[in-house]
Chain A
Amino acid sequence: MKVEQISVFLENKSGRLADVARSLGDAGVNIRALSIADSSDFGILRIIVNDNDKALEVLKKKGFTISKTEVVAVEVSDKPGGLAQVLDLLARESINVEYMYAFVERSSDNAVIVFRFDAMDSAIKVLSLNGVVILDGSTVYSL
């Protein structure tokens, strides 16, 4: 039920993001979704790619500090109120969203949102019980 995401530590310097993108591109790794969290000095690039092992190997070789994190990819109805519906379910159970970002591609007619929760397993349980579609890794990587 969980999807693997790669996080990369980046200093706020011009060209660093380009370095990551180029390294992955040269290795034939496709970025499926991404987001950046930033402070004044540094940022954390979070990406979901089509080939995790290769991406990890390439980035490590280039000397980036990286880590793997598990996230949940959820299908959300691509209509007004679609996201609110899912978030309400979680709020009711006092589950916090650490961060979230959206996929560019859609899954059938739905938008795909990536979540990191403070309580991952409870979140998955709540979502499944309420019939929310959670995508597994292989589906997400090939979206």
Chain B
Amino acid sequence: MIWNEEFETLPREALEALQLKRLKSTIEQVYATVSFYRKKLDEKGIKPSDIQSLQDLRRLPFTTKADLRDNYPFGLFSVPMENVMRMHATSGTTGKPIVVGYTRRDIDIWAELMARTLSCAGVHKGDIVHNAFGYGLFTGGLGFHYGAEKIGASVIPISGGNTKRQVTIMKDFGPTAITCTPSYALYIAEVAQEMGIDPAVDFKIKAGCFGAEPWSERMKDEIEKRFGIDAIDTYGLTEVIGPGVSSECIEAKSGLHIFEDHFIPEMIDPETEEPLRYGEKGELVLTSITKEAFPVIRFRTRDITSLNPECCVCGRTFVRMERVTGRTDDMIIIRGVNVFPSQIESVLMHIEGIEPHYQLIVDRKGSLDILEVQVEVNERIFSDELKQLEKLGKRVEKEIKETLGTTCRCKLVEPKTIQRSEGKAKRVIDKRKM
């Protein structure tokens, strides 16, 4: 189901004309109002009037997360504060938070993008949306909230946490759609089962929009199985707008359509910064072309994906990005081998009976990196015989070695000892002192 048929199915040529027009006006706007961007363009000797084609975008400098941090809190706002209707911020777990602003028009556009996202999952008026993304400075909660209201759905603004209560409400209120992080969805399913409730039978949910953290295809299968639903991958980031940058469609479930009438995607090699071709895996770079309060130019998302321009069965003409497999800063380097937590997740979920809760502990002994993969022992994999359990551990180690080329040690731990997330899961504990 397409929310905005006119824009989401624009022929390529018309779309690119629209993008160019919007790009030009965005560049003019930031050059006139944000000293950071003006300085960077001046350094390169580029005037806004030099942008005459979409290819000219490549002449502009990148914007990094560090740039946004350096301008904390409001240095990159492009409108006076009196026109800022809302602020959101990143959690700041890796340093100073990044603060973003929205004008009334920005909020309207965001709601439109979230309406598109929910429509991608087949959610429409008449549906009840259980929104378990956190409300507050985090963009997930309010983003989905506004989108769900826009399409005319009934919203349960439950936010994250208090999981037993979530389960009770899901059973009693009968929501037909759920929105939250994938790791939280699995935690909800686990708590439901403890309460004697089978999410696949006792809930009326038919679809879910999940995002805000990298997750594997196998994790998606697991969520679909446990809830008996279609799980849709959605993508976005606070720095660019929040959720609502791209979404899978329920028709194909094969890549996320980037809402290109509002964002221009590029794919680069994160090392060389050279542009990559369609299908090549690299870092996604995004430029917003309709935002007023907090436009971003060539923002380096650090998310690893690839772009696919092929037409989709759903009718949307937007380019699709592959499921994000990791972030350049989530990547752990174990003895020179690049490892993304989602790759290990894929291996683990492939092994029958293993819980989708896991943790990676990275440490260094002498000059050697040690990767420990912690897996919980549940009743499905518990054996009374030591050698069976040891065999399981060996199997995990072997399959990770075969798939990722890195050696690890599998540690079997007691059930529920790995911390459950009510938002974004913390998969890696890096104890190395760099």
Contacts and interface: CB of A to CB of B under 8 A. Distances in A.
Interface stretch (A21-29, A38-46, A134-142): A38-46
A10 B417 CA distance: 12
Give the secondary structure class of B's interface: loop
B414 A46 contact: no
Contact of A69 (B379, B384, B413): B384
A98 B386 CA distance: 10
Contacts of A63: 414-416
Contacts of B382: 7, 9, 65-67
A41 to B, nearest CB: 5
Interface residues of A, number: 22
Contacts of B386: 37-39, 44
A42 B389 contact: yes
Contact of A66 (B379, B389, B412, B416): B379
A65 B415 contact: yes
B411 interface: yes
Given A65-B378, A67-B379, A44 B413 contact: no
A10 B384 contact: no
Nearest to A69: B384
Contacts of A38: 386
A113 to B, nearest CB: 17
Give the secondary structure class of A's interface: strand
A33 to B, nearest CB: 15
Contacts of A65: 377-379, 382, 414-415
Contacts of A42: 377, 389, 412-413
Contact of B390 (A5, A39, A46): A39
B279 to A, nearest CB: 42
Contacts of A67: 379, 382-384
Nearest to A42: B412
Nearest to B379: A65
B384 A11 contact: no
B389 A44 contact: yes
B352 interface: no
A64 B414 contact: yes
B385 interface: yes
A41 B414 contact: no
A37 B385 CA distance: 9
Contact of A98 (B385, B390, B417): B385
Interface of B: 377-379, 382-386, 389-390, 411-417
23 contacts: A5-B384, A7-B384, A9-B382, A9-B389, A9-B414, A16-B414, A38-B386, A39-B389, A39-B390, A41-B412, A42-B377, A42-B412, A44-B385, A44-B386, A46-B384, A64-B414, A65-B377, A65-B379, A65-B414, A66-B379, A69-B384, A98-B385, A99-B385
Which 7 A-B residue pairs are closest in the complex by CB-CB distance?
A7-B384, A69-B384, A37-B386, A65-B382, A9-B377, A11-B414, A65-B377
